Amino acid sequence: MTLHSDLAELLAEAGILDVDVDEAVADEHDHEHVRSSAYQRVVSVTASSRSRDRDRAIVATILRDPDEMGAKTAVVALVDEIAWKVTGPAEFQQWSAELLPEIDQLKTETFREFIRRRIHDWLFYLSIKDGHVPTPAELAKVTDWMQRFLAEHSTSLAVLALVAASANTKKTRNIAKNRAGSRKLRTQ
C-alpha cells in the first residue's frame, strides 16, 4: 500500500470527500498539516462509530505514514476519544490490547512508549471512575499529564487529597488542594 492509497481508503471509509489526497501526500512540509488534519477527521468519525471492529486496521494504516509524529498524534487522539466512550476499564483494556501489535510497528521508541503510557493513564483514570481509590505508588506510575487531569477533573475528595499530597509537580498539588477545599465547602 502507498501513502496515497492508504489515505484515500481511510477518507473514503470515513465518508470524508473534501480532502485533496494528492495535496495531503505531497512531500512539502505544509502538506503534513493537511494530512494531519485529515487523520484527525478520520479519528473523529472512527471514534463516533458504534462499532470498534475497524479500529485496529485504521490504526495500522495511520501508523504506516512515514511522518511518525503525525501518525502518533492521530493515534493518541483516537485513544483519548475511545477512553471517553468506553463503559469501563475492562472494555478499554480489551480495546487497547488489540492495538498494541500495531503500535509496536512504530520505529521511534519514544512514540511507542508515549502511546503506551497514554493507554496506561486512561486505564488508571477509568479504574478510578469505576470506584478504585489509588495509592500514592499507583499515582506515581502515571504521567504528570494524568496527575494534572485528575487534579482538574476528579470529583472524588479522596482522589483530590491523594493528588494534593503526592503529585509530581507543585502546580498540580496546588490545583488538587484548591479543588478539594472548594468541594468541601460546597458539600457542607
Task: Please report the pLDDT score of residue 27 as a whole number.
Answer: 66
What does the mean pLDDT of the chain come to? Answer: 93
Q: What pLDDT, on the 0 to 100 scale, is given for residue 26?
A: 86
- Which residues lie below 8 Å from residue 157, measured CB to CB, with a gap of 6+? 180, 183, 184
What pLDDT shows up at residue 31? 64
> Which is nearest to 6 in space by CA: 16, 26, 19, 21?
21
Rounded to an integer, what is the distance from CA 45 to the centroid of its chain?
Answer: 15
* Res 188: pLDDT: 44
Positions of the chain with pLDDT under 50: 185, 188
Which pLDDT value is given to residue 184? 61
| 0.85 surpassed by pTM | yes
d(CA 121, CA 126): 9
C-alpha cell at 84: 471517553
Whole-number Å distance between alpha carbons of 62 and 64: 5
Residue 35's nearest CA partner among 76, 66, 81 is 66
Rg for the chain (alpha carbons), in Å? 19
pLDDT of residue 32: 76
Query: How far is Cα 178 from Cα 169, in angstroms, rounded to an integer?
Result: 14
